Structure 1
Amino acid sequence: MLLEIILAALISIILGSVGYVFGVVNVRGFISGVVLSVGILLCFIYGYQNTEIGIKWFLLLVGFVVIGGISTRYKYGVKDKLHVAEKAGGRGVGNVMGNGFSALLCALLFAFTQQYMFLIGYVCAIAAATSDTVAAEIGQLAKKKPIMITTFKKVEVGTDGGITPLGEISALAAAVLIAAIPLALGIGDAKMLLVASAAGFIACNIDSLFGATLERRGIFNKHFTNLFATLSGAVIGILIFMHV
């Protein structure tokens, strides 16, 4: 197992270093991201007793980091002028755990139970995190003002709970991209693709709903909003998978 731990650490450090170099995460975000990544990879290696398959499931997390990083840096100057760009220095511990804890929890549950439903939850949690990140980063570039998800009234760019057609389309596309990774790697099937795409997109809008209500009232901060949205994505995905 020592070799697997070293491998997990190396892969996670490389992944985190890329994010740090491109300003996607700060130092604390880098460290917490490495710890979370190592945990997820080891869970799958332990659960399957197979390093190759474990790495394949880990690649979903890589997909989130890559897609999220690209969307964050895309037209950063424009978003900065609108005062909605991700703060200088990159995302920190709160961002990392808010987006990644649900996936880690599902991976941990799978490691100890080998229950397929937790693989579904893992994929859906990452699809939700990716969908929400891309929706926020790309949706802010829409030419028309966003509307509040609860009232459909126009609001300023960057308002919690604001949505745009561009953001919604981007959210769905991001969820589908993540959900397609297991199928492409030969570890998932079409049902997983459909369930994770739907659950990820639904969870993204739950995030917006939480933002419009609980976050705007100061009950949640954005990190707790992300945490509950990704967790709801995992739960919704599992429920859909079990009953469809």
Structure 2
Amino acid sequence: MNLLSNDFLFGFLINFILISLFFRVPLMTKAGWISAGVLGSILWGCLSWQGWISVVIYLFLGSLVTKIGYKFKNEKGIAEKRGGKRGPENVWGSAATGLFFAIMVKLNFTNLVFYKIGFAASFAAKLADTFGSEIGKRFGRNTYLITSFRKVERGTEGGISLEGTAASSLGAIFMSLIMFILNIISTKYQFLIVAISGFLATISESFIGAKFQDKYKLSNELVNSIQTSISSVIAIFVLIFYLKVST
């Protein structure tokens, strides 16, 4: 893979220009914008504008939903730090899995559909997680620990609410729809696989948060990477199974 190809150079120029224009918009920290620029340049080089814009939409929606009810969440001590601005750890924790699959598409080792569905599923899971967490912390009336269904305070690791769970499902569906519209995934079956995988991985992330995050001092960014990887693996294996039974 030639990193100096026209696709990568063009991606770098597009990201440089846009970040220069929007640098002062309080969506990210300075280091976060730089990381987003590096990520965006690589994504454009690997998946062209479709892969790039899908992640731009994810980052925008993720930052936007974080702002919903921020004052309330901040008063409760459960708001995202830095006023909701995304830093480099947020960018790479959310996008590392997707970036891996984007690079695999560019390397073109084997059937690209598996890499593309892995890419799509990783971001479906992350938007589902962000929607569920931020909406649940603000609007969830009752929060329960996923491992025992014991009632806990909102914002507790591994805590889920009806409102947050519904928001998670909508986030997974919405991101899957974006991937479908952009033709990163191309059939209704792939759309369903990505949406369901993203939602299931979000449920698994709550379980990891409840059972292991505090015990093993796992960072949120590491848990995010695990969650997106789970989503991608589920999607790929379900697709393999579907292709076998349908032929």
Same-fold call, TM cutoff 0.5: yes
Residue number in structure 1 paired with 2:63: 69
Greater alpha carbon shift after TM alignment, 97-106 vs 111-120: 111-120
Residue number in structure 2 paired with 1:7: 10
| Contact residue 9 and residue 34 of structure 1 kept, 8 A | yes
1:155–1:16: structure 2 CA closer, same or farther, 3 Å change rule? farther
Task: Write out per-residue CA displacement over residues 113-135 of structure 1, whole angstroms, 9 at most, x where no aligned residue.
Answer: 25210000000001011111111
| Contact residue 19 and residue 30 of structure 1 kept, 8 A | no
CA–CA separation in structure 2 for the residues paired with 1:167 and 1:148: 13
| Contact residue 19 and residue 65 of structure 1 kept, 8 A | no
Task: Write out per-residue CA displacement over residues 52-87 of structure 1, whole angstroms, 9 at most, x where no aligned residue.
Answer: xx2123222122112111101112112111211111
What secondary structure sits across from 1:151 in the alignment?
A: coil
Counterpart of 1:66, as a letter, is: F
Identity %: 27
CA–CA separation in structure 2 for the residues paired with 1:96 and 1:19: 17
1:177 aligns with one of 174, 177, 199 = 174
CA–CA separation in structure 2 for the residues paired with 1:223 and 1:8: 26
Counterpart of 2:215, as a letter, is: R
Q: 1:23 offset after TM fit, Å?
A: 2.8
Residue number in structure 2 paired with 1:94: 89
Q: CA RMSD in A?
A: 2.0
1:243–1:17: structure 2 CA closer, same or farther, 3 Å change rule? farther
CA–CA separation in structure 2 for the residues paired with 1:87 and 1:75: 14
What does 1:50-199 correspond to in 2, within 5 Å? 54-88=48-82, 90-112=85-107, 113=109, 115-187=112-184, 188-199=186-197
Residue number in structure 1 paired with 2:198: 200
1:25 aligns with one of 23, 28, 36 = 28
| Contact residue 132 and residue 164 of structure 2 kept, 8 A | yes
Greater alpha carbon shift after TM alignment, 180-189 vs 60-69: 180-189
Greater alpha carbon shift after TM alignment, 90-99 vs 14-23: 14-23
Residue number in structure 2 paired with 1:223: 221
What secondary structure sits across from 1:140 in the alignment?
A: helix
What is the number of equivalent residue pairs in this alignment?
235
Residue number in structure 1 paired with 2:41: 38
Counterpart of 2:203, as a letter, is: N
1:242–1:84: structure 2 CA closer, same or farther, 3 Å change rule? same
| Contact residue 124 and residue 176 of structure 2 kept, 8 A | yes
1:118–1:162: structure 2 CA closer, same or farther, 3 Å change rule? same
Greater alpha carbon shift after TM alignment, 222-231 vs 113-122: 113-122
Counterpart of 1:104, as a letter, is: L
Counterpart of 2:63, as a letter, is: G
| Contact residue 19 and residue 69 of structure 1 kept, 8 A | no
What secondary structure sits across from 2:195 in the alignment?
A: helix
Unaligned runs of 5+ in 2: 243-247
| Contact residue 199 and residue 233 of structure 1 kept, 8 A | yes
